Amino acid sequence: MRHTTAVVNRIARIVYSSPACIRRHQSTLPFRKQLKDEAKLRKAQRGLINDKNPENDSGEDWELTVGLEIHAQLNSERKLFSSALTSITNELNSHTGLFDLSIPGSQPLLQKTVLLPALRAAIALNCEIQLESRFDRKHYFYHDQPAGYQITQYYAPLAKNGHVVLTQEDGIAPEDYPEVRVGIKQVQLEQDTAKTIQQPPDDVLLDFNRVGHPLIEIITLPHIHSPQTASACVRKLQDILESVNAVATGMELGGLRADANLSVQQRNTVGECSYSGVLGLGQRTEIKNLSSFKAVEDAIIAERNRQIQTLEQGGKIEGETRGWTLGSTETKKLRGKEGEVDYRYLPDPDIPPLLLSGELIEHLKHTLPALPDQQTSYLISSFDITMKDAKTLVSLDRGLRLDYLAEVFDILAKLGHDSYKLGRTASNWTLHELGGLLSTHSVPFEANPVSARALAEIISNLQNEQINGSGAKTLLSLVFAGTERNIDQLIVEHNLKSRNFEADEYRTIASQLLEQYPKMAQEIRNGKTGKLQWFVGQIMRASQGKMDAKTATDTLIELLGI
């Protein structure tokens, strides 16, 4: 609500009204830039911990156990308990409701539309949906939570008893092949906090736009035993949430954050701790606010090594909350580990139980979009796309890349081509050729200047041998640059049309090159076949890219006698 902006800004000023907070620096180094620079310095001085580096190998005497807590912003127009918008805006403290700011007298009003993405997420994660769930208050004081408590679902969550299956193709650690089943204890609704904006050296600002954003917290069971598998689990969960349109953004844009709970213990021993029915674990610590897949892996490696070193030196692991920063080789203690007693959980007296109908759950189950594993299997079976490319297509650009490729397939079919036979070719041009241009020019896929029809016509001309590979790449570059011509016109204007070269023409050019570079030719005959491609490149250059690379290769092999 826009009329509360002034109130919000006043609160922010009251919270941080010291001279240091009021100061403004005309030339302040951006905080993220400062973190990256410091990380680079630490890496140069000490080297980033590598889980595969023997010098950092903690040996096989210890077993790591990890459980994850994933906080994901739901794809909802409104906040959880107010009608304030959740849309992204650069105007600070502009999308706030009275309840989000804990203005005296304001009351929570659950926004029913928030439930749909939350339920889709829970169903996609194979959870049991609870027809009755309740909200609780989790008490703690911190400047990013104006009420002094967070509304969550601790005792009676929205869903529980789910699971996700991770396979080799998901990037799990080799020791976990062929698959790992990670249990999900529960999925619960809760509020997000304000965004803390740090302005080095000592300014801290608050943006309350994020307060009250609807989140789901996904709590896994401690079924993970590798940093690499933990990272793969977070990625898989994000892919699933995005596939059912449950989340607003992923980790790369700050819409998903992870906490890692981990412990170590000597193998073949029984620890004294337990968690959610899993017995015999070591004392766990929690690493908060990990914001990338790589951060999940690196932070777990760092904390695992710290715990092992502490125990090997006769020390004791304390239950505590720890932090990790970009590029760091160590975790740092933030505070002692809070528990149920510290948070003083109690049922929220202002919010009635959340009651759901079985008909709604069944409807959502039958209308759920295809999940990543289903999409991947379909691409492989229907279009002969490789597993690697299929998984990449499914996970990229929130499904936009996959939708684009589907349109390319439709147009190719209308042009008389077999989509199955051209599946790998079309996916390669979508992912690698077009993707390379987008990456080189820093263009997001949403702004892709190459229409599906243009790419399909390029592939069609290539398949019909009207152009060769080099000509197809030239065409793609011209279209990408915004050349306003149809594909046929561009082929004519830029002299890209292929012609059939006689075998003698290949031999003539190849023979001249071999005579010109006899030493290199002899090296190829002696076994250095890698240099053969240099000759192929020279033949393609001599023909202005119009000769066939495979025929050129075969001709060279024949003349060299290899």
Residues 23 and 56 in one domain: yes
At 531 the pLDDT is 84
97-111 pLDDT, tens digit per residue, is 999 999 999 999 999
- For the chain, percent helix, then strand, then coil, each to nearest 5? 45, 20, 35
Q: How confident is the model at residue 526 (pLDDT cuts 50, 70, 90)?
A: confident
- Report phi then psi at 19, rounded to 5: -55, -35
Residues 240 and 295 in one domain: yes
d(CA 503, CA 554): 11
492-511 pLDDT, tens digit per residue, is 888 888 777 888 889 999 99
Residues 151 and 190 in one domain: yes
Q: Which of 464, 472, 387, 383 is nearest to 424 (CA)?
A: 383
Give mean pLDDT, residues 126-146. Answer: 94
Find how far residue 33's CA is from the centre of its chain. Answer: 21
Number of domains in the chain: 3
Note the residue count of the chain: 562
351-369 pLDDT, tens digit per residue, is 999 999 999 999 999 999 9
pLDDT at 478 over 60: yes
**Domain span including residue 350:** 2-354
At 39 the pLDDT is 53
Residues 387 and 325 in one domain: no
Give mean pLDDT, residues 482-499. Answer: 86
Residues 287 and 384 in one domain: no
Q: How confident is the model at residue 35 (pLDDT cuts 50, 70, 90)?
A: low
Look up residue 17 and give its two tokens.
């009204």
Helix (H, G, I), strand (E, B) or coil at 285: strand
Q: Which range has the top average pLDDT, 213-217, 267-271, 334-338, 343-347?
A: 213-217
Q: How confident is the model at residue 549 (pLDDT cuts 50, 70, 90)?
A: confident
Find how far residue 215's CA is from the centre of its chain. Answer: 17
The two beta strands, 132-133 and 278-281, are: unpaired
At 216 the pLDDT is 98
At 540 the pLDDT is 84
Q: Is residue 544 part of a domain?
A: yes
The tally of CA atoms less than 13 A away on the side-chain side of residue 505 is 12
Q: Which of 219, 256, 217, 220 is nearest to 238 (CA)?
A: 256
Give mean pLDDT, residues 230-248. Answer: 95
The overall average pLDDT reported for the chain is 87
Q: Is residue 367 part of a domain?
A: no
Residues 533 and 454 in one domain: no
* pTM for the structure as a whole: 0.78
Q: Is residue 267 part of a domain?
A: yes
At 29 the pLDDT is 44
Which of the listed residues 434, 461, 493 is the one where a domain comes to its end? Answer: 493
Which of the listed residues 460, 493, 526 is the one where a domain comes to its end? Answer: 493
316-340 pLDDT, tens digit per residue, is 999 999 999 988 889 999 988 766 6
Find how far residue 350's CA is from the centre of its chain. Answer: 37
414-447 pLDDT, tens digit per residue, is 999 998 999 999 999 999 999 999 999 999 999 9
Could you give the angle at the alpha carbon of 340 between the alpha carbons of 126 and 165, nearest 5°? 20
Q: Is residue 476 part of a domain?
A: yes
